């Protein structure tokens, strides 16, 4: 077993504190890597506070992970010692069921092993995430980091990146499409960058007037305030596709009013509370309300390669691990531009 330093939430809603875990010794198909950077996703907050239910503690969050390979098992072909490697929300799946064969490992029929707040496929061994000095993962679930991408700015691509790239691809985002992005946070700022790079005309739909200049710099051609009811009238039936990243409860019906006939609003934001949707919000205009959950491993690699081609990384603020609880509070106050990334060197020195 490999003794590993981490930061963990000891119980629901409690501040994260230093905590030591055991990682398994790497097997023939495993990669062991030193974690360099871990992004801070709003899902880390939902889960550390047990807002979605069923959380297990102690919990080591973190599913936006970039590291340097330290050791590879005898059957590993994708990596050699010294390579950069990345891990997102998934660390294993059965590999054999229909959905795994469709490269949708997150929907593994046997239940995927998520990076934390989950178990390995033995359904016993808890998984611990990226707020830690090292990680062991079967090579299929480790991604190659293309040359030229800044490692710290790459970390958030592993969740915020793939979660917004995937629905844009699923709904065939292309040149000339009108795409609305709702909520300019970690996911939202990636959605703007990707949709703009795919040639769409992007409008940022935000509650924060102070974010307008950033939205335009990130690639949005339009910016509208959702606190102003006139926005919903002005932009009625406007968008082919809306990517909705809001982390808190809100009225989906109002936003569906901005979807054009036959268009789609995809929920990626995951507020804990259910919200009623009126049938007529969908019937009037044959509209679709959809959801999307991260992305499979092949699509995640495709997204990283797309980022290398278009020179896209996340806009980040690097923090030491000792500031993690403050970072959660700042995210709750909407004070992040646009992703916190933990420099794991701060954990090694601690």
Q: Residues in the site for ligand NAP, rule: CB under 6 A?
A: 41-43, 46, 159-160, 163, 183-188, 206-208, 211, 245-248, 250, 268-270, 292-294, 331, 334, 336
Question: Cβ 344 to ligand NAP, closest distance in Å?
Answer: 19
Question: Cβ 223 to ligand NAP, closest distance in Å?
Answer: 10
| Alpha helices (runs of H) in the chain, residue ranges in sequence order | 42-48, 98-101, 151-154, 160-170, 186-197, 212-218, 229-234, 252-256, 279-283, 297-310, 324-332, 345-349
Tokens 């077993």 -> residue: 1
Closest to Zn ion by CB, 107 or 232: 107
Closest to ligand NAP by CB, 133 or 245: 245
**Mutual orientation of helices 160-170 and 297-310 as an angle, nearest 10°?**
100
Closest residue to ligand NAP: CB criterion: 185
The encoded tokens of residue 286 equal: 């044959």
Question: Cβ 43 to ligand NAP, closest distance in Å?
Answer: 4
Closest residue to Zn ion: CB criterion: 41
Question: Cβ 280 to Zn ion, closest distance in Å?
Answer: 33
The encoded tokens of residue 284 equal: 């009037």
Closest to ligand NAP by CB, 47 or 134: 47
Question: Cβ 334 to Zn ion, closest distance in Å?
Answer: 17
Which has the closest alpha carbon to 288: 124, 114, 170? Answer: 170
Q: Which does 166 bind (CB under 5 to 8 A by kind): ligand NAP, Zn ion, none?
A: none
Question: Cβ 124 to ligand NAP, closest distance in Å?
Answer: 25
Longest dimension (CA), the chain: 62
Closest to ligand NAP by CB, 26 or 188: 188
Show the binding pattern over residues 30-49: x = contacts Zn ion (CB under 5 A), - = does not. Answer: -----------x-x------
Which has the closest alpha carbon to 139: 104, 70, 91? Answer: 91
Write out the binding residues for Zn ion, residues 105-164 only, by CB under 5 A.
Answer: 159
Q: How do 90-92 and 201-206 pair as beta strands?
A: unpaired
Give CA–CA dist 197/218, Å, rounded: 10
Give CA–CA dist 296/100, Å, rounded: 9
Closest to Zn ion by CB, 41 or 137: 41
- The residues that touch Zn ion, with contacts defined as CB under 5 A, are 41, 43, 159
């Amino acid at each position: 077993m490999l003794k590993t330093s981490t930061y963990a939430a000891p119980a629901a809603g409690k501040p994260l504190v230093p905590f030591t875990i055991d990682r398994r010794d790497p097997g023939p198909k495993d990669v062991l890597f030193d974690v360099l950077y871990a992004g801070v996703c709003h899902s880390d907050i939902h889960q550390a506070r047990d807002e979605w239910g069923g959380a297990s503690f102690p919990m080591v969050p973190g599913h936006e992970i970039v590291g340097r390979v330290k050791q590879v098992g005898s059957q590993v072909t994708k990596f050699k010692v010294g390579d950069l490697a990345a891990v997102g929300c998934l660390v294993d799946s059965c590999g054999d069921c229909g959905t795994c064969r469709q490269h949708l490992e997150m929907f593994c029929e046997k239940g995927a092993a998520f990076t934390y707040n989950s178990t390995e496929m033995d359904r016993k061994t808890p998984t611990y995430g990226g707020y830690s000095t090292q990680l062991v993962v079967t090579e299929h679930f480790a991604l190659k980091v293309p040359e030229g991408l800044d490692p710290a700015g790459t970390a958030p691509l592993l969740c915020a990146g793939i979660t917004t790239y995937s629905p844009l691809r699923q709904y065939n985002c292309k040149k000339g499409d009108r795409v609305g992005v709702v909520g300019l946070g970690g996911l939202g700022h990636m959605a703007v960058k990707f949709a703009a790079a795919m040639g769409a005309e992007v409008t940022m739909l935000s509650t924060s007037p102070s974010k307008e200049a950033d939205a335009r710099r990130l690639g949005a051609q339009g910016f509208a305030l959702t606190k102003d009811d006139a926005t919903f009238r002005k932009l009625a039936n406007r968008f082919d596709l809306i990517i909705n990243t809001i982390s808190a409860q809100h009225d989906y019906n109002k936003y569906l009013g901005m979807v054009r006939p036959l268009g789609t609003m995809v929920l990626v934001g995951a507020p804990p509370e259910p919200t009623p949707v009126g049938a007529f919000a969908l019937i009037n205009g044959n509209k679709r309300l959809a959801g999307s959950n991260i992305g499979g491993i092949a699509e995640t690699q495709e997204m990283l390669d797309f980022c290398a081609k278009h020179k896209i990384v996340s806009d980040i603020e690097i923090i030491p691990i000792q500031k993690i609880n403050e970072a959660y509070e700042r995210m709750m106050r909407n004070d992040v531009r646009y992703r916190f990334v933990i420099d794991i060197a701060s954990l090694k020195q601690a």
